[in-house]
């Protein structure tokens, strides 16, 4: 619901929307909804790279989260290359 509200005020590629997606993606990861988590974290990654650059700590954190999700989904090759 919070994500829907943010999308009413900010564009899809805004930091606040990405941050909400990051949070929600990690919640989904923790409860085992890995496909939903992956989608949200991938969206977040694109925005964070654009805003902060590929070498930022925020991008590194998302890559770590995505690697964990990919591993949980059995996509070990992708997890290793993140």
DSSP symbols for the chain: -HHHHHHHHS-TTSHHHHHHHHHHHHHHHHTT-HHHHHHHHHHHHHHHHHHH-TTSHHHHHHHHHHHHHHHHTT-HHHHHH-
pLDDT of 78 = 84
Whole-structure pTM value: 0.88
For 6-58, write each residue's pLDDT tens digit: 888 888 899 999 999 999 999 999 999 999 999 999 999 999 999 999 999 99
pLDDT at 1: 67
Per-residue model confidence (pLDDT) at position 10? 86
**Residue 62: pLDDT above 80?**
yes
């Amino acid at each position: 619901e919070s994500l829907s509200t943010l999308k009413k005020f900010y564009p899809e590629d805004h930091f606040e929307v990405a941050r909400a997606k990051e949070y929600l993606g990690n919640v989904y990861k923790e409860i085992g909804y890995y496909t939903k988590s992956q989608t949200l974290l991938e969206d977040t990654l694109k925005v964070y790279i654009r805003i902060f650059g590929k070498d930022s700590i925020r991008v590194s954190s998302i890559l770590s989260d995505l690697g964990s999700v990919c591993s949980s989904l059995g996509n070990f090759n992708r997890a290793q290359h993140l």
